[in-house]
Amino acid sequence: MAAGKGLRIGVIGGAGWLGGAIAAAVLDAGIAASQDLSLSYRSKRPDRFPGAFWTRDNQALADRSDVIVLSVRPADWPHLNINVEGKLIVSVMAGIRLAALCAQHQTRRAVRTLPNAAAEVRKSYTPWIATGDVDDTDRAIVRAIFDACGVQDEVRTEAEIDYLTGLTGSGPAFPALLAEAMMADAIAHGLDRQVAQRAVNTVLVGTGRLLEQRDVCPTETVQTFLDYRGTTAAAIEEMMTAGFGSAVARGLAAAFAKSVSMGENS
């Protein structure tokens, strides 16, 4: 069934941040109509997506859907015992392997993806990989869903997904971490908190737009500032001397190791 042709999509965990962002993107892009969208919640039903089917019964959601998106915490997934009866399942959970998804949910059509929180503003980067039984029609659906959330790439191995868990899946947290450090330093130097917050947030948003529009390697942007030999070059060189690059590498290595261990425990 082609995307947008009466496609019925279910989002298990549709009340959550990421599940809700995916559902909103699907509706905005016209991939599914509201009456063909099913979402599950655990405690309180959210007051959004009028016309959609809301339920606490995940099996009922799977039964009325053609495509089932699994958007739950990896730690909660082992208890999600639903039978999708050969339908297409799309996991957005870190660490959970394709083989495990197929075995638990009785299907051979599984896709493992890793969008990030920027799906809320349609700026997620989403890598994904599929089992051999996922056909071209299924792939078109996956591309449509995650193009609606931002940008997507089909990658070659699950090891690449594990690595990208840190680089892009956790990615929005890293600029936020940098922003937090910059803001704390600004406040320590006497700036008003609101002024510091606006200054730092605007710098990061502007940098993102600059990288997006110029579409050049970040190394070129950094080198341009280094070549100018001004205040920015002085700051970059001091940060690198303090171990900025190695700290980032260690963080990504930790995320990669965590993703692998989560898969081994699934």
| Residues 178-210: tens digit of each pLDDT | 999 999 999 999 999 999 999 999 999 999 998
Are 20 and 14 in contact by the 8 Å Cβ rule? The answer is: yes
| pLDDT of the residue at 59 | 98
| pLDDT of the residue at 6 | 86
Residue that has been written with the tokens 């979402």 in this structure? 39
Numbered ranges of CATH 3.40.50.720 in the chain = 9-156
HSE-CB of 12 using CA atoms within 13 angstroms: 30
Answer positive or negative: Cα dihedral of 196, 199, 200, 205: positive
CA distances 162 to 24, 130, 168, 182, Å, are 26, 14, 10, 29
Numbered ranges of CATH 1.10.3730.10 in the chain = 173-264
| Residues 163-175: tens digit of each pLDDT | 998 899 887 899 9
Mark 68-87 as b/e (b = at least 16 C-beta within 10 Å). Answer: bbbbbebeebeeeebebeeb
Residue that has been written with the tokens 């009456």 in this structure? 35
Are 162 and 260 in contact by the 8 Å Cβ rule? The answer is: yes
- Along the 266 residues of the chain, how does pLDDT read in single tens digits? 444 458 999 999 999 999 999 999 999 999 999 999 999 999 989 999 999 999 999 999 999 999 999 999 999 999 999 999 999 999 999 999 999 999 999 999 999 999 999 999 999 999 999 999 999 999 999 999 999 999 999 999 999 999 998 899 887 899 999 999 999 999 999 999 999 999 999 999 999 998 889 888 999 989 999 999 999 999 999 999 999 999 999 999 999 999 889 877 76
Residue that has been written with the tokens 């917050």 in this structure? 197
- The CATH code that applies to domain 173-264 is 1.10.3730.10
* % the chain with pLDDT above 90: 87
Q: Phi/psi class of residue 181: alpha, beta or left (left: φ > 0; alpha: ψ in -120 to 50)?
A: alpha
- CATH H-level, domain 9-156: superfamily: NAD(P)-binding Rossmann-like Domain (3.40.50.720)
